[in-house]
Amino acid sequence: MTFYDDIYPFYPLQRTAFIISGRLLAIILVFLMLAVGLLLILPGIRGKTRVFWMLRIMISLFIGVVIVALNFTNSWAEARMTTNVTYKSFSNAVIQAEVGLHVGLYGFNVTLRGNPIVQFNETINYNEMFSWHDIAEEEYEQALIKGLPNPILYIVEKFTLSSPCGMIFQYSYSGRFASATLWTAFCCWILSNILFFLPDIVYAGYMTMATAAFIFFSMASFSTIKNVPRCVFSIGEDSFVTEYSHSFWLALATGVLCTIIGFFVVMLYFLMPEKVKAAFSLRFDSYEDEDEDKSCPEGYLNSVFLNGEMHLPLTPKVTPDCL
């Protein structure tokens, strides 16, 4: 019987790798429930307008969920490689594994997956999360106490304050500003949805382009990490550096989508305002004019009483209330 029932490094129980962030899952579920609730009203919309409304709802919710979810994903920058590396401290045991680093706006996670996954009678499958808001040295000490494998400890050490790489400052500050601009883009997205229900939807187009602008600002903020020398991670006989990943390119695609939507809304509003208002069901002026015509029928005035002339016939006139 070895230390902790032959489960090493030093875990008392067999661990399960992290799969998905709870906050990210909650965001997706909230927007899915909102989408289902809005789609339930579609049967009450008649004609071709139903299809247009469905497209508006789906595209708008897609933009909103992407903006919020990008704050909590750990795939803005990543790097991975497969190499032979020592598994734990004070041991010469070498394993073949895939090592990965995934960086987000609020933190990063390090993955270690054996190839094959079972080696030395152990399931090698780790996914450790670390946050910028916590003290790096304390998290590193906790990782040492838990006995994380050597590749994970090596990468986490690069993000400590004592590391000469200074990666904690590069990624934490760039992620902080990128997150702030993304939340500003989310506020612009909310305003644009409100303005789409007002008569002058040109302002909704402007606000949609403002949403795209702040998304691009967040990408520019995160890209400042490229302006400083990047730290090289050397594990075993191989090395890697981080590159832009899925979240970064998804932010770019969403920003381009918002730019296209905002540009076409503004352009079509100036070229054919009435048709655009009709497409968005905003022809309030014509509806009000029709209601006024129906509520003010033609009336008659007694010209003899008004002018004092006894022989003039009654002439039809419009009542003063309808003028």
DSSP string, 189-233: HHHHHHHTTSS-THHHHHHHHHHHHHHHHHHHHHGGGGGSPPPPE
274 has a pLDDT exceeding 50 = yes
Q: Residues 71-82: pLDDT tens digits?
A: 988 889 998 888
178 has a pLDDT exceeding 80 = yes
Q: Give residue 14's pLDDT band: very low, low, confident or very high (50, 70, 90).
A: very low
| Residue 123 exposed, middle or buried by CB count within 10 Å (0-12, 13-18, 19+) | middle
Question: In this structure, are residues 139 and 156 in contact, taking their beta carbons and an 8 Å threshold?
Answer: yes
Q: Which two tokens stand for residue 315?
A: 């002439």
DSSP string, 127-176: EEEEESSS-HHHHHHHHHHHT--HHHHHHHHTTSTT-TT-HHHHHHHHHH
Percent over 70 (pLDDT), the chain: 77
Q: What is the pLDDT of residue 22?
A: 72
Q: What is the pLDDT of residue 23?
A: 74
273 has a pLDDT exceeding 70 = yes
**Highest mean predicted confidence (pLDDT) among 35-44, 260-269, 293-302, 311-320:** 260-269
**Highest mean predicted confidence (pLDDT) among 17-31, 196-210, 304-318:** 196-210
The residue ranges of every structural domain in the chain are 77-164
Q: What is the pLDDT of residue 287?
A: 42
Least confident range of 86-100, 189-203, 210-224 = 86-100
Task: Report, as an integer, the average pLDDT of 188-215.
Answer: 91
State the chain's mean pLDDT as an integer.
78
Task: Report, as an integer, the average pLDDT of 76-102.
Answer: 85
Q: pTM of the full predicted structure?
A: 0.76
38 has a pLDDT exceeding 60 = yes
Q: Which of 236, 74, 77 is nearest to 149 (CA)?
A: 236
Output b/e per residue, 62-94; b: 16+ Cβ within 10 A: ebbbbbbbbbbbbbbbbbebebebbbbeeeeee
Q: Residues 212-237: pLDDT tens digits?
A: 999 999 999 998 887 777 778 888 77
Least confident range of 116-125, 211-220, 300-309 = 300-309
